């Protein structure tokens, strides 16, 4: 199945780079990545150009930009969807990093009659800044994340545990849609 990842962004080039690096480290690589840019400055364009060059052997990156005349994220998302070539669309925000099995999990659970919604870990401000400064991707549970959580920084760290056993997932209610519903930062569907 050909997968297109859509990454909305607005003036967070360092975070966007980490997002793209996390996608490059996936256990199942996407067919293409499209940046849906709601009018960012040239700094974001430069970051996209840098990443397009750095990842040209991994996947193609398209940058779809519109003029900044106020919040028009839905419009740029629609235009970006029109430019995808994949059969399956996966959405992740430009200030998020995908777990190393992010793409694989969406593809494995995909169904033509379903929209899939994933969870997210909220990384604390101090840890986020440290990761941005170092250009370090955090795409699985690790000690740094645990320590930051214990210090009250990162939240929902339990969401970083991937449980593959079907029975255990059922017992722990990991496959149920909760009152969180579908988050725009992590969902997928057939085109």
Give the tens place of pLDDT for each residue, 3-62: 999 999 999 998 899 899 989 999 999 999 999 999 999 999 999 999 999 999 999 999
For residue 75, pLDDT over 80 is answered with yes
**152 or 174, which is more confident:** 152
d(CA 137, CA 146): 15
What is the structure's pLDDT at 138?
67
DSSP characters over 42-66 = HHHHHHHHHHHHHTTTT--EEEEE-
What is the structure's pLDDT at 146?
67
Nearest by Cα to 32 from 5, 50, 1, 52: 5
Contacts of 37 (CB under 8 A, 6+ apart): 8, 9, 10, 44, 45, 48, 63, 64, 65, 66, 76
How large is the average pLDDT for residues 62-88?
96
Q: Are 37 and 75 in contact (CB under 8 A)?
A: no
- Domain span at residue 70 reads 3-190
What is the structure's pLDDT at 71?
92
Number of independent structural domains in the chain: 1
CA 161 to chain centroid:
17
How large is the average pLDDT for residues 58-67?
97
Strand partners, 5: 33, 90
DSSP characters over 60-120 = -EEEEE---SS--HHHHHHHHHHT---SEEEEE-TT----TTHHHHHHHH--TT--EE---
CATH code: domain of residue 144: 3.90.550.10
What is the structure's pLDDT at 69?
95
Give the tens place of pLDDT for each residue, 79-97: 999 999 999 999 998 888 7
Contacts of 175 (CB under 8 A, 6+ apart): 169
């Amino acid at each position: 199945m050909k997968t297109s990842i859509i990454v909305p962004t607005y003036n967070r080039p360092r975070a966007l780079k980490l997002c793209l690096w996390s996608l490059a480290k996936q256990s199942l690589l996407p067919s293409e990545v499209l940046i849906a840019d709601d009018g960012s400055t040239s700094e974001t364009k430069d970051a996209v150009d840098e990443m397009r060059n750095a990842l040209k052997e991994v996947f193609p990156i398209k940058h779809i930009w519109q003029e900044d005349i106020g919040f028009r994220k839905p419009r740029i998302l629609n235009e970006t969807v029109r430019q995808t070539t994949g059969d399956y669309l996966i959405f992740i925000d430009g200030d998020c990093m995908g777990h190393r099995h992010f793409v694989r999990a969406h593809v494995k659970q995909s169904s033509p009659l379903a929209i899939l919604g994933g969870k997210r870990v909220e990384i604390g401000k101090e840890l986020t800044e440290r990761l941005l400064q170092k250009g370090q991707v955090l795409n699985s549970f690790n000690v740094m994340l645990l320590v930051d959580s214990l210090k009250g920084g990162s939240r929902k760290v339990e969401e970083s545990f991937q449980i593959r056993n079907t029975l255990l997932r059922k017992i722990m209610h990991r496959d149920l849609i909760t009152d969180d519903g579908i988050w725009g930062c992590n969902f997928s569907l057939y085109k």
